[in-house]
Amino acid sequence: MRAHEAGALHADISNQGPAWLRTPADVNALVPALWPRSVTRGADGAVAVAGLSVRDIAAEFGTPVYVLDEADLRSRCRDFRAAFPTEDVYYAGKAFLCRAVVRMIAEEGLYLDVCTGGELATALSAGMPPERIGFHGNNKSVAELGRALDAGVGRIIVDSFTEIDRLTALARERGVRPRVLVRVTVGVEAHTHEFIATAHEDQKFGFSLAGGAAANAAFKILDEGVLELRGLHSHIGSQIFDASGFEVSARRVLALQAQIRDARGVELPELDLGGGFGIAYTTQDDPATPQDLAKRLRKIVDSECAAENLAVPHLSIEPGRAIVGPAVFTLYEVGTVKDLDGIRTYVSVDGGMSDNIRTALYDASYSATLASRASDAQPLLARVVGKHCESGDIVVKDEFLPADVQPGDLVAVPGTGAYCRSMASNYNHVPRPPVVAVRDGQARLIVRRETEEDLLALDVG
């Protein structure tokens, strides 16, 4: 299904659901792969996280609310740290960033990747050691670059010749020699189970490999001698389950490493293969474990380095979604249930595309469960939709909920830790939800709910 700009009547209509979605034997059952590790259904039928009932969370913090399982997030940090003990693991802050999460990932020994001045400000205000911060972005301003240099960030991933000139001038003014990586567009685009290895250099990120821009960027930095070129960076996509795209990417970027060595006599000591590791949003998804990722990425790099007669560079990766995505679910309250005479049943909740734009923007699939109680009713194929004035305001396209779902029920949607709060908006002047972290049966507010007063405070007219 894709929303149509002319309205719902023009959209793809089907009441059968996708082929992979099966009618559950028990509509109350929770699929463990989709939920934070501490989530259970209690004896009273309500979903609980770290021992705390969602009823209590809703009563204290209201709905909609993003619920973060702190122990789950920390355990996923540790899983990556254990799988990549000699490599650098950068948490990709664009997935979700707030000061509490910065402190969590810092305490778990991870590095942090930011891509705007606002993300950098959040990281620094939370006490992240600047030497453990990497700075991405295709259009960093002079002010942003200057702030990064003044703060002493550990590395800057340069993305254009203009940025190299800007950063070089700023470094000369300050008498510093910042560490940089060159972002390389390798001609590989990977998403979910597929990757394409050609004709994907038409994008705003990085320096083209095929066109020679990446090599020229590296030569420029080395020849000018102001910036310290540490290595190359490649990021090929998102929600990736197949390592084949990384194999093609590593082969191409390491061939560039060899070209630089042959032309300038320098073996760059670092290589960043980016992130994009997939998670399970529905039962059709089967993500790799960090241990499996580490094994496959090391094998790829070792093999390609041997082929090019290169020393194996120090490797870094950038998981974001894979750490925070499964650690969060969104809790909503049902407002209306509308049965369109057998065409479809719409379950409307008190949030929607302002707190999760990914369904409308990317045609993303999510799951859901009735969270405030258990039910003996038969499974009903439903569509969970939001409250916004938009036919494409869909949270979950197809899901089996109990046939007796009704106004006042709580519905939980798992896998909403990545990009949901980060991409949230005030569409229809709806305030953004809070983020609540739960640990050992206790909940604490880490990002408060926006209010109408917040919205009006910006309206100076």
318 annotated to bind ligand: yes
Question: What are the tokens at 201?
Answer: 């250099």
Question: What are the tokens at 95?
Answer: 């997935």
321 annotated to bind ligand: yes
Name which of 429, 399, 382 is nearest 281 in CA terms. 399
Three-class secondary structure of residue 186 per DSSP: coil
390 annotated to bind ligand: yes
Is the separation of the CB atoms in 245 and 285 below 8 Å?
no
392 annotated to bind ligand: no
Which string of DSSP letters, residue by residue, matches 100-147?
HHHHHHHHTT-EEEE-SHHHHHHHHHTT--GGGEEE--SS--HHHHHH
144 annotated to bind ligand: no
Say whether 389 is catalytic: yes
Query: In angstroms, what CA-CA distances link 334 with 61, 242, 372, 395, 410?
Result: 16, 37, 11, 12, 6
Cα separation, 309 vs 332, in Å, equals: 56
308 annotated to bind ligand: no
174 annotated to bind ligand: no
Exactly one of 77, 98, 305, 389 is catalytic; which is it? Answer: 389
Enumerate the active-site residues. 389
**From the annotation, which residues make up the binding site for pyridoxal 5'-phosphate?**
276, 318-321, 419
- What residue numbers does the annotated binding site cover? 276, 318-321, 358, 362, 390, 419
